[in-house]
Amino acid sequence: MDREQIEILAPAGDLEKLKLAIIYGADAVYLGGDRFGLRAAAKNFSIKQIKEGVEFAHSRGKKLYVTVNMIPHNEDFDGLEDYLRDLQQAGVDALIASDPGVIMKIKEAVPGMEIHLSTQANNTNYMSARFWHAQGIKRVVVARELSVGEIGEIRANIPPDMEIEAFVHGAMCISYSGRCLISNYMTGKDANKGECKHPCRWKYALMEETRPGEYYPIYEDERGTFFFNSKDLCLIEHIPELVEAGIKSFKIEGRMKSAYYVATIVRAYRMAIDEYIKDPKGWQFKSEWLEELEKVSHRGFTKGFYFNKPGHEEHHYGSSSYVRNYDFIGLVQSRDDENGELVVQQRNRFFSGDEVEIIGPGGALFYAKIAGMRDEAGSDIEVAPRPKEIIRVKLDIGLEGIGENFILRKKAE
């Protein structure tokens, strides 16, 4: 199987995440500009930053897609045409849209631009996919509510040149493919304009009409009930089934997640998919891939709607918080072979003597102990206390094989 037959599509919340996603194995990244997207709280990209991202991606043979997938009101079309032309001039490879009016504007303002149909369009069947193909849509991002069998049926009934993209990992929105009014109703912040406050993760109880002030848990738990709080999607165990269903692009959720999250998730799926490409018939799932995914913040894992109808076990009722077993403590900037040190930009606190793991692109993994540290002035230190400072780190192992953009992590305190 050719590696180009499967795309790992990674989220990019800022330029650092974009670059790490590509370095760690993503074939393409998707991001939001400073307008017309659905992640208003993310560090969205200016046109200048998008251009820099395009140049970085293209120099490595990768692609960059930009979301224009908000559900617009009349006033939201102001400035859209100019923005679309700016994106075309920046060199983006495709635009992700859901609204027919926005799609029409894309075709008018930047004819020839590749268009991907966002999951916000709720595409659940092959007739809808055919309709969108007739409108010039190159790729459909299928709804999260579909089973793997339904996706396969869509693939069998759409034109060969239309691609299917599907979410395979990350947070699950409890509403229909992300179209949700709860945030707008409860907070005045519209999820369909990128301002979701995630009230589905809040703590709820049930009150009966004739018993005001008496609250009952919907699911018995001493800490409360989070009855919309879905576990995170994780399909790394099912690469063959997803490929056989006709999925071209394996999409990872998380534009608001950390750089560590993006690099680690991409790295794990890269290893799993590369193993499948080498030997599709002999592919076997390796538990260490799932263990890698568990070393980033998550809410437990579910297979969503892919294989069975989700039940109560697919929700996390105990808490709305994440599981965080490991801390991202530093990103390697360079290697000082003369002094036997790694030059590390700190991200979280760590100490001399800490046991750490060091991961890199291509599955590289090292276990080491921090044998000593120096600050930028060259003074010995016992603790690295402040994020983004440059720390010179000496390990109790050799540095061969470790280099720029490698990640240091340790078990959470």
Strand pairing report for 115-117 and 341-346:
unpaired
Handedness of CA 175, 177, 180, 182 (dihedral sign): positive
- At 255, the pLDDT band (50, 70, 90 cuts) reads confident
Q: What is the pLDDT of residues 34-91, one digit of tens each?
A: 876 555 444 579 999 999 999 999 999 999 999 998 888 898 899 999 999 999 999 9
pLDDT at 219 over 70: no
Report whether pLDDT(190) > 70: no
With a CB cutoff of 8 Å and minimum separation 6, the contacts of 196 are: 180, 183, 189, 190
First-to-final CA distance of the chain: 43
Q: Environment class of residue 181 by beta-carbon count within 10 Å: exposed (0-12), middle (13-18) or buried (19+)?
A: exposed
Burial 96-119 (b: 16+ CB within 10 A, else e): bbbbeebbebbeebbeebbbbbbb
- pLDDT for 1 beyond 90: no
For residues 197 and 188, what is the distance between their CA atoms, to the nearest angstrom?
9
SS3 118: coil
Of residues 298, 239, 307, the one with CA closest to residue 265: 298
User: What is the per-residue pLDDT for 191?
Assistant: 57
More confident residue, 180 or 57: 57
Name the token pair of 383: 């603790």
pLDDT number for residue 224: 40
Average pLDDT (263-269) is: 97
Which string of b and e fits 245-262 if b means at least 16 CB within 10 Å? Answer: bbbbbbbbbbbebbbbbb
Q: What is the mean pLDDT of residues 367-394?
A: 94
pLDDT per residue as tens digits for the range 322-364: 678 899 999 999 999 999 999 999 999 999 999 999 999 999 9
The 10s digit of each residue's pLDDT in 106-144 is 999 999 999 999 988 989 999 999 999 999 999 999 988
Each residue of 142-172: pLDDT tens digit? Answer: 988 899 999 999 999 999 999 999 999 998 7
CA nearest 261: which of 132, 347, 379, 374? Answer: 347
Looking up tokens 């759409």, which residue turns up? 158
